[in-house]
Amino acid sequence: MKLKIAVLPGDGIGLEIVSQALEATKAVCAKFGHEVTYREALVGAAAIDAVGNPYPPETHALCMESSAVLFGAIGSPKYDNDPSAKVRPEQGLLAMRKQLGLYANIRPVTTFPSLIHKSPLRTDLVEGADFMCIRELTGGIYFGRPQGRSEDGETAYDTCVYTREEIERIIRLAYGYALKRRKKLTVVDKANVLATSRLWRQTAQRLEKEYPCVETEYMFVDNAAMQIIQWPKRFDVMVTENMFGDILTDEASVITGSLGMLPSASIGIHTSVFEPIHGSYPQAAGKDIANPLATILSAALMFEYTFGLQAEADAIREAVNASLAGKIVTEDIAGDGRAYKTSEVGKWITDYLYSRQISPHNA
């Protein structure tokens, strides 16, 4: 198979972690006999500094002609600390989502046996937790209009807007994943207060009848936030709107023990983007200390979701689990053990993949 990938390192630690994921991707392709081609492009603060646009037309063109996008992170203190900045790196992320039609963000939340002790929750609560958060990504308050401030600057306003079509599209996607898993779907909203949430719930209740083999439950977002902490193992697939999903997925990611371990996939109409859930971590940029595992696991999602190559995805996950078991990890999860550099962890995983025996039925 021929794989054509757009590589967007972005800002901060993006260049370091994406380079390790790309090396793992090349190793898997070499072992399984695939041909991979890739090109890099600018996005975020790096793109603003270079061309004044956080998501340049050239970057969008590359994404559109690629089968998948491997993405790092966006964000820079240079712009965070300048309230007068008219163009911000995060605008590039929103533009990419909108122009590529990235309507669904998928975040698997799974625990790693060797990291359970780092979870803020008791072992009995978090051990075996395995659920999927599906967040609507191109609607809601982040994209709603009107948006702005009054002339005197004393009043600000944002508008949350959803159409039935947008809601139905992502609810159907969520049911599709539930059918492949444990056949349970949790629809999260605030239907007791918000009109948009009432449309979400009405739409989901109508679609529920088409999926009788899936157990569907409805939960207010505040209750969902509590349940994720009190009983994370009760969830299978969770679907919600943009802002609720932004908050809940960050909360869910912490219970596994490390933000540096969780990948994500943004499913698009034109192409899909694969990225770690953590930010650009500018304090660590250039120091070779950032955890590359979430980005490497994002590459596994790329093989699985875009190219339908399950064995290749499983090979990457096997390598990551082997690195954890062997304590070949960066400082964020090393504890009292040796802390390896970003490049050392990446090389260990790449070497593992090159040395792995591929059986004929997998090749």
Question: Among all residues, which ones are annotated catalytic?
Answer: 142, 190, 222, 246, 250
The tokens describing 135, both together, are 């967040």
Place of tokens 């757009």: 6
| Alpha-carbon dihedral sign for residues 263, 266, 272, 275 | negative
How far, in Å, CA of 130 to CA of 128, rounded? 6
Contact present, 221 and 160 (Cβ < 8 Å): no
Give CA angle at 340 (337, 344), nearest 5°: 150
Helices assigned H by DSSP within the chain = 14-32, 45-51, 57-64, 77-80, 89-100, 123-126, 164-180, 195-208, 221-230, 242-254, 293-305, 310-325, 331-334, 342-355
Q: Quick one: tokens of 177? A: 């994943």
**1 vs 13: CA distance, rounded Å:** 30
Distance CA 273, CA 302 (A): 8
Residues in the chain: 363
Q: Which three-class secondary structure state does DSSP give residue 235?
A: coil
